[in-house]
Amino acid sequence: MAQRLILTADDNMQIRMLVKAALRSLGHDLIEAVDGEQALEMAIEHRPDLVLLDVTMPKLDGWEVLHFMRQRPETAEVPVMMLTTAAQGSDLAHAAALGCNGYLTKPFTPTDLRQRVEQLLSG
C-alpha cells in the first residue's frame, strides 16, 4: 500500500505513543493533535487519509470534531475512526449518525489497531 497520512488526536500522550508504536511498521506518515481544536485545524490543513479520534478531549470533544469535519468540504470525506472508552450502544448510534467510519474501544491491541487502520485505508 502506498504511504498515507494518518492524524491521531488524543489528549493522552501515552495513547498517542501507543498508536505511534502500533502503526510504525505500516510505514505511513503520522501527525498528532493534543486536543480537539488542534485536531480540527490539522485535519482541515493536512487532509489526512485517516483520522483516529479520541472522544474525551479539551477544547472540542471528538464528537464535535467529527461534526465540524463533516460540515467542511476539505474534510467531509476523510475517514474517521473513533478511539475511545465510550462503548455504550448509544455512543455507537451517535457515532454512526455523525458519519464516523469506524469505532475502536480502548484498551485496544496493536494488532487490532493495525487491522482496522489498514481496512479503513483500503476501503
Binding site for Mg ion (CB under 5 A): 11, 54, 56-57
Give the nearest distance from C-beta 98 to Mg ion in angstroms. Answer: 17
Q: Which is closer to Mg ion, CB of 4 or CB of 36?
A: 36
Q: Which is closer to Mg ion, CB of 4 or CB of 102?
A: 102
Q: Are 100 and 93 in contact (CB under 8 A)?
A: no
Give the nearest distance from C-beta 10 to Mg ion in angstroms. Answer: 6
3-state secondary structure the chain: CCCCEEEEECCCHHHHHHHHHHHHHHCCEEEEECCHHHHHHHHHHHCCCEEEECCCCCCCCHHHHHHHHHHCCCCCCCCEEEEECCCCHHHHHHHHHHCCCEEEECCCCHHHHHHHHHHHHHC
Q: Which is closer to Mg ion, CB of 11 or CB of 32?
A: 11
Tell me the three cell numbers of residue 47. Answer: 487532509
Q: Which is closer to Mg ion, CB of 16 or CB of 116?
A: 16
Give the CB-nearest residue to Mg ion. Answer: 56
Give the nearest distance from C-beta 27 to Mg ion in angstroms. Answer: 27
